[in-house]
């Protein structure tokens, strides 16, 4: 496709979308904007975009496709600003990448009554534990779910199709749903788990004041299951505010469920507790293993190795010979429910699988994925 694309916000997500568009549509002209000019300059030097601007008003006027890739609070302000621009193209599609959709989709319906401008909400359900345009990759969203939310689920079929064409280079799996349905689903599988993880960490911190062993022993499995509590605090504050109704409902349901567990536990109801954990295990084990979801996956491999000098360099040396990159390496201090003393982290499922095959071929060490 020919045409002009404006990407507002050149972080990991915006940069990756720009790369994917350029890969699929090499004749498209991609203009970038970021509130931090140095980030925009870096994006151009990395050839993520063709050029950058320090004010996007003029560039938006003749754009065919506009991607708003900024935090959810700022996205609404950008959308309001764009509504004051007179667009010259006969058809302009604007999309965003935020993880809450109802607020911005409803706002867009009031801001763009004109026929030549259409807003299609978007949420690419993939990411990375790295940030910034320097970490951008054209294949970041490959095989991930990419939700599109027009104002009405059955509205704007032409514009939804056009959005998919522009974003075809992401190689994502596109799903169209209503904004309200999206916010409910995202609340269950992403937003609310972040609240729970933060709550568990707060509980551990409170206990730490009376028992100093809490933080020391939390270095193992507890630290792993609460990883998402280390996410950007400002971002998650904004997400919860934007998805307030859903989160409040989920909190009520969660507290009701915990009350049921508490009542049965107080009565020593072993049959209920067994069924409770069994059903949870059954549902969790049936979830897709290789599909990308709303929370970025951790591609970790646990290696059961003996504790002797040089063991880490031995393992990393074997992987280096096969050109397998490790993003992180950690020696486990506690091993309860963790199969292996060494945890290796990788950028993708492919890298993790290659590492597992490599170590099993060259060593006697057992490897596990949990």
**For residue 276, what is the domain's CATH number?**
1.10.3660.10
CA distance 321 to 81: 52
Structural domain for 352, as ranges: 299-368
- 16 and 83 within one domain: yes
247-250, long-range: CB < 8 A, 24+ apart? 247/187, 247/191, 247/192, 247/195, 250/187, 250/188, 250/191, 250/192
Distance, in Å, from the CA atom of 144 to the CA atom of 354, rounded to the nearest integer, reads 21
Q: What is the secondary structure of 208-225 as a DSSP string?
A: HTT-THHHHHTTTHHHHH
pLDDT score for 152: 66
pLDDT of residue 256: 97
The token duo for 354 is 């290659």
Which pLDDT score is estimated for 107? 94
- Is residue 31 domain-shared with residue 49, that is, in the same domain? yes
Report the domain count for the chain: 3
Q: Are residues 8 and 132 in the same domain?
A: yes
Starting at the edge strand found earlier in the chain, the sheet holding 92-96 runs: 51-52, 29-33, 4-8, 65-68, 92-96, 117-124, 145-149, 173-176
Write down which residue in 177, 197, 216 finishes a domain.
177
User: What average pLDDT does the structure give for the chain?
Assistant: 88
Q: Domain for residue 205, yes or no?
A: yes
Tens-place pLDDT, residues 113-163: 777 899 999 999 887 667 799 989 998 898 889 999 997 656 678 999 999
Which pLDDT belongs to residue 367? 67
Does residue 291 belong to any structural domain of this protein?
no
Residue 334 has pLDDT above 80, yes or no: no
Do 276 and 303 belong to one domain? no
DSSP state of 292: B
Cβ 59 vs Cβ 53: under 8 Å: yes
Q: Which of 6-15, 105-114, 289-298 has the lowest mean pLDDT?
A: 289-298
Residue 127 CB contacts under 8 Å (≥ 6 apart), including other chains: 12, 13, 140, 296
Give the pLDDT score at 214: 86
Instruction: Specify if 292 maps to a domain.
Output: no
Q: What is the pLDDT confidence band of residue 339, given thresholds at 50, 70 and 90? A: very low
> Among 257, 285, 313, which residue terminates a domain?
285
- Report pLDDT for 52: 97
Is the residue at 45 inside a domain?
Answer: yes
Examine residue 311 and state whether it is found in any structural domain, yes or no. Answer: yes
Q: Are residues 159 and 188 in the same domain?
A: no
Average pLDDT of the residues in 347-365: 80
Instruction: Specify whether 280 is located in the same domain as 316.
Output: no
Residues 217-243, mean pLDDT to the nearest whole number: 86
Q: Are residues 42 and 132 both part of a single domain?
A: yes
Residue at which a domain ends, from 177, 198, 220? 177
Residues 243, 339 share a domain = no
Average pLDDT rounded to a whole number, residues 264-275: 97
75-84, 99-108, 300-309: range with lowest mean pLDDT: 300-309
Q: Is residue 95 located within the same domain as residue 228?
A: no
Is residue 202 within a helix (H) or strand (E), and if so which, with residue range?
helix 192-208
pLDDT per position as a tens digit, 173-225: 999 999 999 999 999 999 999 999 999 999 999 998 888 888 877 766 787 78
Residue 58: CB atoms within 10 A of its CB come to 11
The answer on 237 and 169 residing in a single domain is no
Please indicate, yes or no, whether residues 130 and 250 belong to a single structural domain of this protein.
no
At 343, the pLDDT band (50, 70, 90 cuts) reads confident
Clarify whether residues 56 and 173 are in a common domain.
Answer: yes
Higher pLDDT, residue 241 or 323 = 241
Res. 54: pLDDT tops 50: yes
294 falls within a domain: no
Question: At what angle are helices 270-285 and 244-266 packed, to 10 degrees?
Answer: 140
Task: Name the pLDDT band for 338 (thresholds 50, 70, 90).
Answer: very low
What pTM was estimated for this model as a whole?
0.78
Judge residue 121's burial from the number of C-beta atoms within 10 Å of its C-beta, 0-12 exposed, 13-18 middle, 19 or more buried: buried
Cα distance between residue 44 and residue 47, in whole Å? 5
The answer to whether residue 101 is domain-embedded is yes
- Residue 335 confidence class, pLDDT cut points 50, 70, 90: very low
Return the CATH number at 52.
3.40.50.720
Residue 310's CATH number: 3.30.70.260
């Amino acid at each position: 496709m020919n045409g002009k694309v404006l990407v507002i916000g050149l972080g990991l997500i915006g940069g990756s979308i720009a790369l994917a568009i350029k890969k699929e549509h090499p004749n498209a002209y991609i203009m970038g904007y970021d509130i931090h000019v140095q980030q925009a300059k870096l994006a151009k030097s990395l050839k993520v975009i063709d050029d950058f601007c320090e004010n996007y008003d003029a560039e938006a006027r003749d754009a065919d496709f506009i991607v708003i890739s900024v935090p959810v609070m700022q996205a609404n302000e950008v959308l309001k600003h764009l509504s004051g621009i007179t667009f010259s193209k006969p058809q302009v599609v604007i999309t965003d990448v935020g993880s809450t959709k109802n607020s911005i989709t409803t706002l867009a319906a009031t801001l763009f009554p004109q026929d030549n401008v259409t807003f299609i909400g978007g949420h690419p359900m993939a990411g990375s534990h790295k940030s910034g345009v320097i970490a951008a990759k054209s294949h970041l969203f490959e095989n991930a779910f990419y939700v599109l939310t027009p104002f009405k689920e059955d509205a704007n079929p032409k514009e939804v199709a056009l959005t998919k064409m522009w974003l075809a280079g992401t190689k994502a799996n596109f799903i169209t749903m209503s904004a309200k349905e999206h916010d409910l689903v995202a609340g269950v599988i992403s937003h609310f788990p972040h609240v729970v993880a933060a709550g568990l960490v707060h509980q551990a911190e409170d206990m730490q004041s009376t028992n100093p062993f809490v933080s020391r022993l939390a270095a193992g499995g507890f630290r792993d299951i609460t990883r998402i509590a280390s996410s950007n605090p400002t971002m998650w504050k904004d997400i919860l505010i934007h998805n307030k109704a859903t989160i409040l409902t989920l909190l009520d349901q969660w507290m009701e469920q915990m009350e049921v567990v508490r009542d049965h536990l107080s009565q020593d109801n072993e049959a209920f507790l067994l069924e409770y954990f069994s059903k949870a295990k059954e549902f969790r084990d049936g979830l897709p293993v290789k599909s990308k979801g709303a929370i970025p996956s951790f591609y970790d491999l646990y290696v059961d190795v003996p504790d002797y000098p040089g063991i880490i360099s031995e393992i990393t040396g074997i992987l280096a010979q096969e050109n397998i990159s490790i993003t992180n390496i950690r020696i486990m201090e506690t091993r309860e429910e963790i199969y292996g003393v060494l945890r290796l982290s990788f950028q993708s499922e492919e890298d993790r699988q290659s590492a597992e095959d490599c170590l099993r071929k060259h060593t006697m060490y057992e490897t596990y994925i949990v």
